[in-house]
A and B are shown apart, each in its own frame.
Chain A
Amino acid sequence: AQSVTQPDIHITVSEGASLELRCNYSYGATPYLFWYVQSPGQGLQLLLKYFSGDTLVQGIKGFEAEFKRSQSSFNLRKPSVHWSDAAEYFCAVAPFSGGYNKLIFGAGTRLAVHP
């Protein structure tokens, strides 16, 4: 079955530490890939997206993500986390079968940042 998996429900890091949030998908062909962030009480904001080309993509707020076709993964990274990064992060895919317009979301990873 088609799915998006974010294995970590909660992650806690110290401010200034590095961060990696995992995302795996299961689709027959490479879909479009996205990471969104949701602050408490807010809507979702697009961090970055991958459509094709360079497998390392840069996003806003100092985030980057790497697409690895062999592992069906699209992990989100940040070298040094700031307290304001505390939020919930969602990986999403737009499979070709949906005309690339339907987003399938993972369950999310909630990030806490310790001072």
Chain B
Amino acid sequence: NAGVTQTPKFQVLKTGQSMTLQCAQDMNHNSMYWYRQDPGMGLRLIYYSASEGTTDKGEVPNGYNVSRLNKREFSLRLESAAPSQTSVYFCASSREGTSPAQHFGDGTRLSIL
């Protein structure tokens, strides 16, 4: 009963390095999301994918790219990491329609030095 799985759980990068965060869900959900969580700011939406083949910007998309690889997988890429991107990143998924409750993974803790 995995739900939403994120890899890796922890990562340390140097400024300018690139990295892809992986997310997979096994609940047959259509919609997937990437958030970042910073102290005192709750969670902020980076990108989301309402369905396979579509992606849209959220509140804080700058410095990130996403790929909806298939219905199960939604990856987040940092092309040139910056210290301001140090954060905890969460992936989530939801069904469409009248039950938009989102299910979250356990997060990726990313530090940029």
Interface residue ranges, A against B (CB under 8 Å) = 4, 9, 32, 34, 36, 41-46, 49, 51, 90, 94, 99-103, 105-108
Contacts and interface: CB of A to CB of B under 8 A. Distances in A.
Interface in B93-113: 94, 96, 98-107
Interface residues of B, number: 26
Given A43-B104, A46-B103, A101-B31, A107 B40 contact: yes
* Chain A contact surface mostly: loop
Interface in B13-41: 31, 33, 40-41
A46 B95 CA distance: 14
A96 to B, nearest CB: 11
Top 5 A-B residue pairs of the complex, sorted by shortest distance between their CB atoms: A105-B42, A43-B104, A44-B104, A43-B106, A105-B43
A105 B102 CA distance: 12
Nearest to B56: A102
Contact of B40 (A4, A9, A32, A102): A9
9 contacts: A9-B40, A32-B100, A41-B106, A42-B106, A44-B43, A44-B90, A99-B50, A101-B48, A102-B48
